[in-house]
Amino acid sequence: MADGTSILKGINLEVKPGEVHAIMGPNGSGKSTLSSVVAGREEYEVTGGDVLLDGESLLDCSPEERAHKGIFLSFQYPVEIPGVSVSNFIKTALNSHRAARGEGPLEAALLLKKMREKLELLEMDKSFLSRSLNEGFSGGEKKRNEIFQMAMLEPRLAILDETDSGLDIDALRIVAQGVNALKSPKNAVVVITHYQRLLEYIVPDFVHVLLNGKIVKSGTKDLALELEERGYDWIKKENAGK
């Protein structure tokens, strides 16, 4: 990091198309840093290792190039952009992806149709489109808006950073439903979360525990349940000697 602190110290994670991975861990374990590094946030310096997509390194790519290659990050704290409507924002985003592929802007009618479909999937009213991006949104609306954007952009790898935080049970169900509907054998999802709760709805193929910047344990869905029951202390103890 810019201030010289080293946060991630040993991540070895392979995500294959069609898979859902969950990364769990206590506060400060490096979960959000991991997602920022993969997305290419400049304030983090990668001092070792690599981030590969389809065997190609992403480290020299700008955040927007990574986005064009199919990396999507659902932000834990989505930012507000006053005066920019949800529809204008997503149109700009989608068309910059298309431009990167050498395609022209999506025709207005098709764009509208696509937006309507995805809104329906997330049980969002179409009045949402004309609201200023994230301005005055409730926590649940912000997160749904993230998943809406994910649905529009159809990424190869979606990283959901604590998408469940701040959601009530209904919103959680809707968000999970959206994510599940978008799953395909071609794309993959990494869910970053504190709690097992979201994983009842988005069932992971693998669960990893992140502790002090390292993945210290990997397992299946059962590991998440065990964490829910026993907390993180036993893992901390297990690793204390290493």
Partner 1 sequence: MSQDEILEGVTSTEYKYGFTTDFESDNLPPGLDEEVIRALSAKKNEPEWLTDWRLEAFRIWQSMEEPEWANVRYTKPDYQAISYYSAPVKKQVNSLDEVDPELLKTFEKLGISLDEQKRLSGVAMDVVVDSVSVATTFKATLAEKGIIFCSISDAVHEHPELVRKYLGSVVPRTDNFFAALNSAVFTDGSFCYIPKGVRCPMELSTYFRINQAGTGQFERTLLIADQGSYVSYLEGCTAPSRDENQLHAAVVELVAMDDAEIKYSTVQNWYPGDAQGKGGVFNFVTKRGICEKRAKISWTQVETGSAVTWKYPSCILKGDDSVGEFYSVAVTNHYQQADTGTKMIHLGKRTKSTIISKGICAGHSNGSYRGLVKMGPRAEGARNFSQCDSLLMGDGCGSHTFPYIEIQNKSAQVEHEATTSKIGEDQIFYCNQRGMDTEAAIALIVNGYCKDVLKQLPMEFAVEAQKLLAISLEGSVG
* Closest to 235 in 3D by CA, of 213, 212, 217: 217
Residues with Cβ within 8 Å of residue 34, at least 6 apart in sequence: 8, 11, 23, 192, 210
**Site membership for partner 1, residue 84 (CB under 8 A):** yes
Indicate which single residue of 96, 130, 138, 180 sits in contact with partner 1 (rule: CB under 8 A).
96
Strand 20-24 to strand 157-161: parallel, antiparallel, or no bridges (unpaired)?
unpaired
Closest approach, Cβ 50 to partner 1, in A, equals: 20
Nearer to partner 1, 57 or 96 (CB): 96
Residues in binding contact with partner 1, number by CB under 8 A:
37
Nearer to partner 1, 87 or 239 (CB): 87
Indicate which single residue of 45, 56, 64, 117 sits in contact with partner 1 (rule: CB under 8 A).
64
Indicate which single residue of 91, 143, 214, 217 sits in contact with partner 1 (rule: CB under 8 A).
91
Q: What is the DSSP string of 58-78?
A: -TTS-HHHHHHHTEEEE-SSP
**Site membership for partner 1, residue 149 (CB under 8 A):** yes
- Rounded Cα distance between 39 and 230, Å, is 32
The span of 19-27, 39-47, 164-172, 184-192 binding partner 1 (CB under 8 A) equals: 39-47
Closest approach, Cβ 91 to partner 1, in A, equals: 7
Indicate which single residue of 13, 93, 121, 225 sits in contact with partner 1 (rule: CB under 8 A).
93
The answer to whether 210 and 176 are in contact (CB under 8 A) is: no
- Rounded Cα distance between 18 and 94, Å, is 23
CA-CA distances (angstroms) from residue 6 to 10, 89, 112, 137, 241?
11, 34, 45, 34, 21
Nearer to partner 1, 3 or 229 (CB): 3
Q: Name the residues that contact partner 1, by CB under 8 A.
A: 39-43, 62-64, 66-68, 72-73, 75, 78-79, 81-84, 88-89, 91-97, 99-100, 104-105, 132-133, 149, 153
